[in-house]
Structure formats: C-alpha cells, structure tokens
Copies of this chain bind each other. A is one copy, B any other.
Amino acid sequence: MSQPVVVDSVAALRTQIHDWRRDGLRVAMVPTMGALHDGHISLVRIALEKAERCVVSIFVNPTQFAPSEDLDKYPRQLARDLDRLGAAKADLAFTPTVGEMYPAGFATKISVGGPSAGLESDFRPTFFEGVATVVAKLLLQATPDFAVFGEKDYQQLCVVRQLCGDLDLPVDIVGAPTIRDAHGLAMSSRNAYLDEAELKVARQLNVILRKTAVALAAGAHQNDATEEAIRDLIAAGFQKVDYVEARESLTLAPWRRNREGRLLAAAWLGKTRLIDNVGVPAA
C-alpha cells in the first residue's frame, strides 16, 4: 500500500510545500494527534476536495494536556496511521518531535477569549491556550490555503476560527461534520479506552443530546432540558457529567431561541472523558 511522504522537520515541510506552490498547487492541512480513525480520514477527504495536496500533521501536543490528563497513555500508532493516510491519498505526513515544536527557550503563549469561555475551559483551564499556540505554529509552519477541523471538537473549531480571524492568519478554516459509528457514537481516538460495556453506554451520549436538542427546538426551558439530559446520562451509566449546555452555534455566546444553537456536552465513563455536540435549529 502506498504511504505519504513523511517529514519531521519544519524545514523539510516547507521545502515540499514551497515546491507545490511553485507548481500552482493548493495545499490543505489536517492537524491531528494521530491514532487516526474514520473521522480523521473524512477530514483528509474534505481537504482533497478543497486543494490538490493534503498535509496531515501528527503531533500529540503536550501543552494542551494538564498534568492530571492522559498525555502518556494517549494512543500512538504511527505505522498504522501512515497506512491509513496512504489509503486516503494524503500526500504528506508531518510528524515533528516535541523538541522540533518546542525547542529549549520556547516562551510564547496565545490566549483566545470569546468562544473559549466556559464549557471545556471550566474543566481544562489551559487546554485552549495549548491548542491555539500549537495550531498557530502548525499553520505558520505549513502556510496551507485551507485547514480542516472536525466539528466533533466544536468549541475548538470555534476557537481556531477566532484565532485565525484575530491574528489575520491567511488560511481558510473548514469545519467538517462529525463522523459516527452505526449507533451514533462520535469517532474519537479516546474511544479506544472503552471496553464493550462502556461502548454501549457511550453510544447513549449522542442519543440523549439529540433528544435534548429536539426538546429545546420544541420550546423546552433550557435549564430544564439540560438538567434532564444530565439525569439521563447518569441513568445511562455515565459516572459524571461535566456539562450539557446550549450555545449560539457561531459565537458560542449564550443561546437565544431565535439563533441557530449548538448543544455541547462532556461526560465521564470510568477514566475516559467523552465529548459530543449536536445542532439546535433556530425557533
């Protein structure tokens, strides 16, 4: 099976992308942390609809993990990832080391306000600073025409849009729909942590969110609907619910019924934290 070209230095990445540009080819980037699943592959497909060349970065970014989080056990499987990228016809895999991304003396942080407030930030207070800084770096290393991010990490997508708009990063950010298994479970590298019994519970997350979105669209009071969702999640077998909350879909400001909304949730299944989100139509 063919594999993409693999580079691990910014210099080699830039040489390849410079060559493509010189030939008039557009470039789309898919930033990932590896452990690629069908969700990532759908991003590659969208990237190749937008541009002639697709570069996928694989980098488990330590600065977006808190000390208590799963950096060490986060799944790493480069050979398998490269096979999948080859099958998906991605052109280039960029696999920098931590030292290439954060050399000694590195000292810069980007903080994005607006859509980063609340939700994930209430539970992972330094997460979006880590994400914004590494995404800015990756986009400035590769300078792609497009970058594709999944709606699975919906708040992250909004933060990345805000980041690129605010800093005038010359790149089009493309949001891509969440890919789900046959039971509605959103694809996630962290699903690999789940056993069969937990998978069954996990699949209820999307079911309950969709039910709640329907109730909200039909006029249910916001607090009532989200509190019921939290009860349903616990009843389904989740141990803890970090949040279930409706926001405006574009700005992540508090949701008002006359605006298109997004219902976002994070919940714990054993030691695994799952997130998901669904649309809420405007009334």
The CA-CA distance from A113 to B112 in the complex, in Å, is 17
What chain B residues lie within 8 Å of A113 (beta carbons)? 107-109
Smallest beta-carbon distance A169→chain B, Å: 6
Q: Within A110-143, which residues are at the interface with B (CB < 8 Å)?
A: 110-114, 132-133, 136-137, 140-141, 143
Q: Answer yes or no: A219 CB below 8 A from chain B CBs.
A: no
How many copies of the chain does the oligomer comprise?
A: 2
Q: Answer yes or no: A105 CB below 8 A from chain B CBs.
A: yes
Q: Answer yes or no: A244 CB below 8 A from chain B CBs.
A: no
What chain B residues lie within 8 Å of A137 (beta carbons)? 166-168
Contact B111 A140 (CB under 8 A): no
The CA-CA distance from A162 to B107 in the complex, in Å, is 8
Contact B107 A166 (CB under 8 A): yes
Please give the number of chain A residues whose Cβ is less than 8 angstroms from any Cβ of chain B in the complex: 27
Q: Answer yes or no: A163 CB below 8 A from chain B CBs.
A: yes
Q: Answer yes or no: A254 CB below 8 A from chain B CBs.
A: no
Smallest beta-carbon distance A124→chain B, Å: 18
Q: Answer yes or no: A170 CB below 8 A from chain B CBs.
A: yes
Smallest beta-carbon distance A80→chain B, Å: 28
Q: Answer yes or no: A201 CB below 8 A from chain B CBs.
A: no
Smallest beta-carbon distance A235→chain B, Å: 38
Contact B110 A108 (CB under 8 A): yes
Q: Within A35-61, which residues are at the interface with B (CB < 8 Å)?
A: none
Contact A111 B112 (CB under 8 A): no
Q: Within A1-56, which residues are at the interface with B (CB < 8 Å)?
A: 10, 14
What chain B residues lie within 8 Å of A105 (beta carbons)? 114, 162, 251
Contact B107 A114 (CB under 8 A): yes
What chain B residues lie within 8 Å of A133 (beta carbons)? 167
Which B residue's beta carbon lies closest to that of A110?
A: B110
Chain A 153-170, CB-CB to B under 8 Å as 1, else 0, gives 000000000110011111
Besides A107-B166, A133-B167, 10 other CB < 8 A contacts? A10-B168, A105-B162, A107-B162, A108-B112, A108-B113, A108-B162, A108-B163, A109-B113, A111-B111, A143-B170
22 A-B pairs (CB sep. < 8 Å): A14-B170, A105-B114, A105-B162, A105-B251, A107-B112, A107-B114, A107-B162, A107-B166, A108-B110, A108-B132, A108-B163, A108-B166, A109-B110, A109-B113, A110-B110, A110-B167, A111-B111, A133-B167, A137-B168, A140-B168, A140-B170, A141-B168
Q: Which residues of A contact B (CB under 8 A)?
A: 10, 14, 105-114, 132-133, 136-137, 140-141, 143, 162-163, 166-170, 251
